[in-house]
Chains A and B, each alone.
Chain A
Amino acid sequence: MKVLVLMKQVPDTETRIKIRPDAQGIVEDGIKWVINPYDEFAIEEALRIREKFSGEVVIVSLGPKRVEEAVRQSLAMGADRAVIVESEQMLEPYLVVQALAKVVQDEGYDLILTGKQAVDDDSAQVGPMLAARLELPQASIVIKLDIDEGAKKLRVERELEGATEVVELPFPAVITAQRGLNEPRYPTLPNIMKAKKKEVKRIPLASLNLNLPPRVRLIQLTPPPERPEPTVLTGDSAETAKKLAELLHEQAKVI
């Protein structure tokens, strides 16, 4: 099985987001960059597939110079090699899909895995959109993945609101990972050393000759609305509980 994992580097979820004065992006100074948490589940699943069926795990990423760090971490988890599409700009999901489609078609694959969404723009578009672009079947938000190699079929469980859905599909396919799929491993020291020597191929975005007009335009970023000053109650538990219930009933009128 040759498994490609699409991995995005994102700000650590601890990051306090500051909007740039031009309102077209965030201030990147001082941000700690990490592997998108949902992509970690995808990498872990790919490694488990390789352990079970043998084959290869290739990381595919897109972004500026800094993504190398997350790519090396992915290799330290155990991926075999990586391809980076070098792009200084943040691209909208559709353009990411067009760029990645060219790269993965050149690579070849049995399965393409990625996270259910990246925790920066939270778009949750790249996986299903790439599947459509490549005319592949898909399953997103997956919490269990079983492979029948002989029949070339997948049986997956998807997390819905208040339900679990079981889906069957042939592969090659695109699968997006949800928390619960597995528990990602930590890189070991020997694997961190080995990762430094693994092959990383770099492809400049310009060399893909996309030249496509954007489909979505960012007008501006704004901070979320301020929350009002809190009313804080202290003292005897029975009294504060009573007061709180009154406030919710009479002031907020929500119970």
Chain B
Amino acid sequence: MSNGVLVIFDQNQGQVRHVVPEILTVARELGVGAVTALTFGVRASETLETLGEYGAAQAVIWEHEPFTRYSSDGFADAIVELVPQVDPSVILFPASAWGKDLSPRVAELLGAGLVTDCLSLRTDANQRVIATRPIYAGKALAEVAVETPIQMFSMRPNINKAISHPVKPQVLDWTPSIGENSFRSVVVEVRQAESGTKEVTEADIVVSGGRGLKAPENFALLDQLAEVLGAAVGSSRPVADDGWVPHSYHIGQTGKVVSPTVYFAIGISGAIQHLAGISGSKYIVAINSDPEAPIFKVANYGVVGDLFQVVPALTEEIRKIKANS
């Protein structure tokens, strides 16, 4: 009978995203068998140390051509060929742009049920997995089970803790064949965002601004606060729509959904779509001049005041605390 968990993820020059140790931890804590990790591309074997640290008993590394460039169909075909070799009962992906592209394709080819963007997984008395995932951008939660023998899930970043559990992974030396009609959709270029730009979906702290900032140049105030906090910068939808910041800043139901430890909503009144996108935040801090703003209803800490005075003062206070600790 199939057992164990296959964790499939991308890596960049030997570096993995935060979500990978998180998923390896989730995989191990399910207690349904050994964890196998599969990754791809140039310098992929350099991830072995991280995989071992977080308890992957076995690793499959495809560093060679054509796995150096992502291909949704090529990677999916190869994964489908690997699966019987590993024979897992559970397959996990990160719910990143990469995992969201690849996992439904793999699910269809395997004939397996897939639950995307899960917050947490647990097992029932029969060792079957029950997943909790947000729907309506977090306005409700759904508990879902998969009915097929192979159960597939993608995990939202920044929710589960990564817990070290060192082992020495065995490398499974097994190479898939590459069909002629595979690797049709291929990445030809990757452009990184400016260096220093932090991704809001992965950041521990997010500093976000809205119309209350009055003008695009005033985002500099948030950049300064973000810098002392080591935070990512986001925005409400209206200011992204008006081009004050790129679309990639937009947090909310039709933008990015974030779950940082601390979310600063600065000059954001808190439209329902925005509140949905931040509902997974552990602490919400609101700074707004309007005491009636809906954002205060979801905030742990609120400051009713002029953000143009409060934010620079807060930046200074945090700088002092950081200097003393």
Instruction: Tell me, yes or no, whether A binds B.
Output: yes
B115 within 8 Å of A (CB atoms): yes
**Selected contact of B101 from candidates A11, A15, A128, A219, CB within 8 Å:** A128
Given contacts A167-B185, A230-B300, A252-B283, contact A238 B313 (CB under 8 A): yes
Interface segment among B22-30, B170-178, B192-200, B211-219: the answer is B192-200
Top 8 nearest A-B pairs (CB, nearest first) are A215-B113, A241-B313, A245-B317, A237-B309, A169-B185, A132-B108, A137-B185, A128-B104
> Separation in Å of the B165 CB from the closest CB of chain A?
25
**Selected contact of A230 from candidates B104, B108, B296, CB within 8 Å:** B296
Please name 12 pairs of A and B residues whose Cβ atoms are closer than 8 Å in the assembled complex, sorted by A. A15-B139, A93-B114, A97-B108, A162-B199, A164-B193, A167-B187, A216-B144, A219-B143, A220-B143, A224-B140, A235-B305, A252-B262
> Separation in Å of the A138 CB from the closest CB of chain B?
5
**Selected contact of B248 from candidates A159, A227, A244, CB within 8 Å:** A159
List the A residue with the shortest CB-CB distance to B319: A245
A180 within 8 Å of B (CB atoms): yes
- The answer to whether B250 and A179 touch across the interface, beta carbons within 8 angstroms, is yes
List the A residue with the shortest CB-CB distance to B145: A217
A139: chain B residues within 8 A (beta carbon): 72, 101, 185
**Selected contact of A231 from candidates B113, B136, B147, B300, CB within 8 Å:** B300
List the B residue with the shortest CB-CB distance to A237: B309
- The answer to whether B146 and A215 touch across the interface, beta carbons within 8 angstroms, is yes
A17: chain B residues within 8 A (beta carbon): 136, 139-140
Q: How many Å lie between the Cα of A135 and that of B106 in the bound state?
A: 12
Q: How many Å lie between the Cα of A137 and that of B186 in the bound state?
A: 9
> Separation in Å of the A225 CB from the closest CB of chain B?
8
Q: Which of B269-325 contact A (CB under 8 A)?
A: 272-273, 276, 279, 282-286, 291, 296-306, 309-311, 313-314, 316-318, 320-322
Q: How many Å lie between the Cα of A227 and that of B284 in the bound state?
A: 10
Q: How many Å lie between the Cα of A5 and that of B98 in the bound state?
A: 23
B76: chain A residues within 8 A (beta carbon): 132
> Separation in Å of the B293 CB from the closest CB of chain A?
11
A22 within 8 Å of B (CB atoms): no
Binding site for B on A (CB under 8 A): 11, 13-17, 19, 26, 37-38, 92-94, 97, 116, 119-129, 131-133, 135, 137-141, 143, 155, 158-170, 173, 179-180, 213-224, 227-228, 230-235, 237-238, 240-242, 244-249, 252, 254-255
A94: chain B residues within 8 A (beta carbon): 107-108, 113-114
Q: How many Å lie between the Cα of A254 and that of B300 in the bound state?
A: 13
B148 within 8 Å of A (CB atoms): yes
> Separation in Å of the A205 CB from the closest CB of chain B?
19
B201: chain A residues within 8 A (beta carbon): 161
> Separation in Å of the A24 CB from the closest CB of chain B?
10
List the B residue with the shortest CB-CB distance to A126: B104
List the B residue with the shortest CB-CB distance to A16: B272
A179: chain B residues within 8 A (beta carbon): 247, 250, 254-255
**Selected contact of A233 from candidates B107, B302, B317, CB within 8 Å:** B302
Q: How many Å lie between the Cα of A217 and that of B147 in the bound state?
A: 7
Over the window 41-55 of chain B, the binary record of Cβ atoms lying under 8 Å from chain A Cβ atoms (1 yes, 0 no) is 000000000000000
A217: chain B residues within 8 A (beta carbon): 144-147
- The answer to whether B185 and A213 touch across the interface, beta carbons within 8 angstroms, is no
- The answer to whether B301 and A16 touch across the interface, beta carbons within 8 angstroms, is no
Q: Which of B102-150 contact A (CB under 8 A)?
A: 102-109, 112-117, 130, 133-148
**Selected contact of A242 from candidates B189, B309, B313, CB within 8 Å:** B313
B160 within 8 Å of A (CB atoms): no
Q: How many Å lie between the Cα of A48 and that of B113 in the bound state?
A: 35
B193: chain A residues within 8 A (beta carbon): 162-164
Q: How many Å lie between the Cα of A119 and that of B252 in the bound state?
A: 11
